[in-house]
Chains A and B, each alone.
Chain A
Amino acid sequence: GQSLEQPSEVTAVEGAIVQINCTYQTSGFYGLSWYQQHDGGAPTFLSYNGLDGLEETGRFSSFLSRSDSYGYLLLQELQMKDSASYFCAVRPSGGYQKVTFGTGTKLQVIP
């Protein structure tokens, strides 16, 4: 089975940088995705790491290390609108469609 662990809550100051970690226990997977969800809204795709290393998309970056069973989402120049929940997710190699999501990290950005 798949298990993805994230911190439940993180608080950071507007303009700062924050890192949200995702550690996992899985026998194998295609890649690690990140989704953002504002309160009352639907999840929206942010980033995908199919290979180890860093992927950068504007203020957001995501990192994957398969050898360390670890990934993270890095948010730079935090804005108030970044206050949301962030989920990591994997597609296991033993069942591609059986996507597993982490329990999510609620980020609060404060002035």
Chain B
Amino acid sequence: NAGVTQTPKFQVLKTGQSMTLQCAQDMNHNSMYWYRQDPGMGLRLIYYSASEGTTDKGEVPNGYNVSRLNKREFSLRLESAAPSQTSVYFCASSARALLAYTDTQYFGPGTRLTVL
């Protein structure tokens, strides 16, 4: 099992350019997430997908869109990149949409994005 994979690993954009970050998981997980992590800060939730066919906003959704293409894949799109979107982006997945007594998110290796 590859777990959670992300492409690309690194990307440099100019202000105003668009791009899509790809994420895929092979663990048959229902839920998937996109986070951003800025230096010295924790992870902040951008968007999530509780199950195939659903997406919803997290803490910092402005400037982003997502697509849950199927159960395996969850992409993040920047329509018009801004320097404030320079960050490390992590995709994650977890097994169950609602549960009580356990919780594990599995993270991809991250995409390091710089917007000039």
Chain A contacts to B: CB under 8 angstroms: 4, 8, 30-31, 33, 35, 41-45, 48, 50-51, 87, 89, 91, 96-104
Contact = CB atoms under 8 A, between A and B. Distances in A.
A69 B105 CA distance: 23
Interface in B60-116: 90, 92, 97-110
A45 B59 contact: no
A50 B104 CA distance: 12
A87 B43 contact: yes
Interface in B40-62: 40-45, 48, 50, 56, 58-59
Given A42-B107, A44-B107, A50 B102 contact: yes
Contact of B42 (A30, A33, A101): A101
B25 interface: no
B103 A31 contact: yes
Which are the 9 A-B pairs with shortest beta-carbon distances? A101-B42, A42-B107, A50-B101, A101-B43, A45-B104, A103-B42, A97-B48, A48-B103, A43-B107
Interface residues of B, number: 30
A45 B95 CA distance: 13
- Interface SS of chain B: loop
A99 B56 CA distance: 12
Given A33-B105, A43-B90, A50-B103, 7 more contacts: A42-B108, A42-B109, A44-B107, A48-B102, A96-B97, A99-B45, A103-B41
20 contacts: A31-B101, A31-B103, A33-B105, A35-B105, A41-B109, A42-B108, A42-B109, A43-B90, A43-B107, A44-B107, A45-B105, A51-B101, A87-B42, A98-B48, A99-B33, A99-B45, A99-B48, A101-B42, A101-B43, A103-B42
